[in-house]
Chains A and B, each alone.
Chain A
Amino acid sequence: MSHNTYTKRILIVGGGSAGWLTAGLLASQRRDWQVTLVESKHIATIGVGEGTWPTMRTTLQKIGINEDEFMHQCEASFKQGSEFINWAKSEGHRYYHPFSLPVGYTEQVDIVSPWLGIKDKVDFAHASCAQSYWCDRALAPKTASDPQYQGRANYGYHLNADKFAQLLKQHCTTKLGVTLILDDVISVNGATEGYISSVSTRDNGELAAELFVDCTGSRALLLGEHYGVQWLSKKHILKNDRAVALQVSHNTLQCEVASCTKSTAQAYGWIWDIALKSRRGIGYTFASEYCDFEKASKQLRQYINDQGLYVHQEAQVKEITFNPGYREQFWHKNCVAIGMSAGFIEPLEASALVMIELGAQYLCDNLPESDNMMDVVAQRYNDKFKYHWARIIDFLKLHYVLSERDDTPYWQSMKSDQVPQSLTNLMTLWRHRPPKHGDLDHIDEVFSSASYQYVLYGMGFNTLVDNPSITPHINSLFKQVTQVAQQGLDAQPTNRTLLDNIAKYGIAKV
């Protein structure tokens, strides 16, 4: 008697971070499925998305990549959060959104109310999170002795996106048994009941599969072009739809490597500044309604100049156009879109890579074993990710709504127009008490109430609480923050020192 040795097949269309992260997560966790990725030789990846969330540590561990190898190959550095500069006011204001949770958060202690009583003495992030002090000094979140993927605080990475895709590709094809086909997809072939049966390629004929993953970027070859699933533009809420980007060398190979993403608000958007070991990636995302590429490039160069960095006049500025939003559905029939084919909002809070990780992991956990299961999983996936995208939009909009800036029509509009009702409701709540765990509906929120706390109180939001008092317990929590901060200041090397050390000695697994 012969067993059915039939393996289920997944075809991922498109490489880049989305395609290869999906391939890596699938191939490492679902050995029962056969993973093939078809990638064009002719289409370049967009190569942005250079900031990760701490989730990337788990993702890389699942895929089976060593941290030191990853850091070396991707020129990566450690990221401990984001710093927002001049968002609340057009001058002299800055605050952190660190990755580690506020002290007492896990135990559901309200640290916000007592902090409000001393807010003139210390800002929220420094009062509640030791990591803020380490970001001040561009320290690493770990020491040379800490094993791979472990640190003294929660951390993610800054990385070179092109090299990241290269590393994942190499790992997937040599270690995880993913088949790579270098070819162009020329048509998508339907089967009964609207399912996709195969895609036709220029040189490799038809590629059949049971499940197709559309990682073709904003083109969305399968979900968009083939199925005609609509793109829901959110430009009316978040107007940034263009970006200009440059790669800038460090002045010296000894200079500090900031351990947080720096985001500086500008007249028509904001500038990201991501420090890798080898260079900085600096870009300006702006709204085409108020600004054009030329004006933006000028402001970008001005910023680079103000940073004391040098960029050649001839250096090619990368121009990026996008329509912020997401698809009406992400999973239709036997096709699921992951990456920019599914959604893309401005890079604020680095949601691009984490949405890929979430999508791909959900897929791994819920691979459909039959056609009726397919429909159910698709429905559940769509509901979940529609919710995620809506919350991301709320959270990003919050950064603008809280601003006092009204120096340009851009800021006047961004902070007051088209505020989602869900966000208005939450803010009404938080006028009277601080955000707490249950305020957001899902257990796997992309942005937890801790993130809301950091942004709200970093931006100077006022919650009206009666006589905030500092109990001995609260006092000991505040003290704990400064003690842990000081221990780190004494023991943790700078990001630069640790990166140099890792290049030389690696990071031990234990």
Chain B
Amino acid sequence: MSQEQLLDNITHKDIKVITSYSAQLGDSVSVARVFPSEYAQLQSEYPIFFKKDAATGQFQSVVLLGFNDKENLYLQDDKWDADYIPLSIQRQPFLIGFIEKQKNGIPVQEPAVHIDMAHPKVNTTHGEPLFTSQGGMTEYLQKVNSILLSIHHGHEDNQAFLNDLVDHNLLESALINIGTQQLNGLYTINEDALNSLADEAVLTLNKKGYLQHIYMVLASLGQLRSLINKKSR
């Protein structure tokens, strides 16, 4: 069970976070959430898909890391074998929580950095400290902050992008057979629908930068082959 706390420099002054990756440290996941701003870096290393959030049914962007539950084929001993690691992985064990603040007497929800104290990367002896002895943020924590900020904006970007894909009927179920096994619940770009888009729609998508996103996703599918190779290694 996670145990989320609002981060502050008193409660968490002695906390350190391990920055390496391994199964013991909670990195054995077969799917990771990603955001359109990352597509360019992701597409040369991971296959990008869309997947529905189980609770809301909303589409998310994800990269596939393995074919079975808790199988992460990018993990090699204590190393994540890739040049780029998705932000949603890099952020662990931190997350954005919302706290209620008063603004001119009106309660408003504001994002704030939280830490999951139950996360295996959290301890007091190993890894990067969060605060300096004076109570200021370490360089590491500043980096975490900027990652969380990117994720925060990434949610909105992702939603806007996916809404457009849905509106233009550009999503379809991805049928992936790995040997006798079939992967369910993944979606990809419907290329037929893409090729028959009206000129006007193409222009609109292009102006928003979405056409580029779309082709990144399509290009990333080539990584499925390398993932299968990793699996058979």
Report A's interface with B, CB cutoff 8 A: 143-146, 493, 501, 504-505, 507-510
B: number of interface residues (CB 8 Å) = 15
Q: How close is A151's CB to chain B, nearest CB, in angstroms? A: 12
CB nearest neighbor in B for A144: B57
Q: Is the CB of A508 within 8 A of B59?
A: yes
Which single member of A143, A144, A504, A508 contacts B166 (CB below 8 Å)?
A508
Specify which chain B residues have a CB less than 8 angstroms from the CB of A505 in the assembled complex: 56-58
Known: A144-B52, A145-B52, A145-B185. A508 touches B172 (CB 8 A): no
Please give me the residue from chain B that is nearest to A68 by CB atom. Answer: B57
Known: A145-B52, A510-B187. 17 other contacts (CB 8 A): A143-B57, A144-B57, A145-B53, A145-B57, A145-B185, A493-B55, A501-B55, A501-B56, A501-B57, A505-B57, A505-B58, A507-B57, A508-B166, A509-B169, A510-B166, A510-B169, A510-B171
Chain B residue nearest to A501 (CB atoms) is B56
| Cα–Cα distance between A507 and B57 once the two chains are bound (Å) | 7
B58 to chain A: closest residue by CB: A505
Whether A144 contacts B171 in the complex (CB less than 8 A), given A508-B166, A509-B166, A510-B187, comes out as no
Chain A residues, Cβ within 8 Å of B172: 510
The 8 Å CB contact of B54, one of A144, A508, A509, A510, is A144
A145 with B187, Cβ < 8 A, contacts A508-B166, A509-B166, A510-B173 known: no
Q: Which residue of B lies closest to A146 (CB)?
A: B57
Among residues of A, the one whose C-beta sits closest to the C-beta of B57 is A144
In the complex formed, the residue of B with least CB distance to A507 is B57
Interface residues of B in 5-52 (CB under 8 A from A): 52
- Residue numbers of B with Cβ under 8 A of A are 52-59, 166, 169, 171-173, 185, 187
Contact call A144/B56, Cβ cutoff below 8 A: yes
Chain B residue nearest to A145 in the complex (CB): B52
Nearest B residue (CB) for A142: B57
Cα-based distance from A146 to B166 in the complex (angstroms): 14
In the complex, what residues of B have CB within 8 A of residue A143's CB? Answer: 54, 57
Docked Cα-Cα span, A510 to B172, in Å, equals: 6
A-B pairs, 4 with minimum CB distance: A144-B57, A145-B52, A505-B56, A510-B171
A215 to B153, CA, bound (A): 53
Task: Jot down 14 A-B pairs with beta carbons below 8 A, ordered by A.
Answer: A144-B53, A144-B55, A144-B56, A144-B57, A145-B57, A501-B55, A501-B57, A505-B56, A507-B57, A508-B59, A509-B166, A509-B169, A510-B172, A510-B173
- Are the CB atoms of B56 and A504 closer together than 8 Å? yes
Nearest-neighbor residue (CB-CB) of B51 within chain A: A145
Closest to A506 in B: B57
Q: Which residues of B contact A504 (CB under 8 A)?
A: 56
A237 to B59, CA, bound (A): 54
- Distance between Cα atoms of A478 and B54 in the complex (Å): 29
A508 near B52 with CB under 8 A, answer yes
B19–chain A nearest beta-carbon distance, Å: 34
Q: Give chain A residues whose Cβ lies under 8 Å from the Cβ of B169.
A: 509-510
Inside 8 A of A501's CB, which chain B residues have their CB? 55-57
**What residue of chain A has the Cβ atom nearest to residue B53's Cβ?**
A144
With A and B bound together, what is the CA distance between A469 and B185 in angstroms?
40
Minimum C-beta distance from A498 to chain B (A): 9
Report the bound CA distance from A504 to B171 in whole Å. 21
Give the interface centre of A145, A501, A504 by most chain B CB atoms within 10 Å. Answer: A145
Shortest Cβ gap from A489 to chain B (Å): 15
- In the complex the two chains form, what is the Cα distance from A146 to B184 in whole Å? 12
A-side contacts of B54, CB under 8 Å = 143-145
In the assembled complex, the Cα of A134 lies from the Cα of B185 at a distance in Å of 23
Distance between Cα atoms of A146 and B169 in the complex (Å): 16
**Smallest distance from the beta carbon of A236 to chain B beta carbons, Å?**
51
C-alpha gap A508/B56 in the complex (Å): 10
Docked Cα-Cα span, A501 to B56, in Å, equals: 6
Q: Which residue in chain A gives the minimum CB-CB distance to B185?
A: A145
Cβ of B134 to closest chain A Cβ, rounded Å: 44
A508 and B57 contacting across the interface, CB-CB below 8 Å? yes
What's the least CB distance linking B182 to chain A, in Å? 16
Q: Which residue of A lies closest to B163 (CB)?
A: A506
- Point out the residues of chain A lying under 8 angstroms from B166, CB to CB: 508-510
In the assembled complex, how far is the CB of residue B193 from the closest CB belonging to chain A, in whole angstroms?
Answer: 10
**Closest A-chain residue to B52, C-beta based?**
A145
Complex CA gap A235/B1 in Å reads 63
A144 to B51 Cα, complex, angstroms: 12
Give bound CA distance, A143 to B57, whole Å: 8
Query: Closest approach, in angstroms, between the C-beta of A389 and any C-beta of chain B?
Result: 40
Would you give the shortest CB distance from B110 to chain A, in whole angstroms? 21
Q: A510 to B56, alpha carbons, bound, how many Å?
A: 14
Closest chain A CB from B33 CB (angstroms): 15
Residues on A with C-beta less than 8 A from B171 are: 508, 510
Q: Would you give the shortest CB distance from B156 to chain A, in whole angstroms?
A: 14
**Once the chains are docked, how many angstroms separate the CA of A384 from the CA of B54?**
45
Tell me how far the C-beta of A142 lies from the nearest C-beta in chain B, rounded to whole angstroms: 9
CB of B174 to closest CB in A, whole Å = 11
Bound Cα distance from A216 to B187, whole angstroms? 47
Docked CA distance A505–B159 (Å): 11
Nearest-Cβ distance from residue B60 to partner chain A, whole angstroms: 11
Q: Closest A residue to B59 by CB, please name it.
A: A508
* Min CB gap A421→B, angstroms: 51
Cα distance A445–B52 when bound, in Å? 38
Q: Please measure, in the bound complex, the distance between the C-alpha atom of A507 and the C-alpha atom of B169, giving whole angstroms.
A: 13
Report the Cα distance A507→B59, complex, angstroms.
10
A504 to B159 CA separation, bound complex (whole angstroms):
13
Query: Across the interface, which residues of B come within 8 angstroms of A509, CB to CB?
Result: 166, 169
Q: B58: which A residues are within 8 A, CB to CB?
A: 505
Q: Which residue of A lies closest to B55 (CB)?
A: A144
Distance of A182 from chain B, by nearest CB (Å)? 33
Q: Contacts of A507 on B, CB cut-off 8 Å?
A: 57
B-side contacts of A146, CB under 8 Å: 57
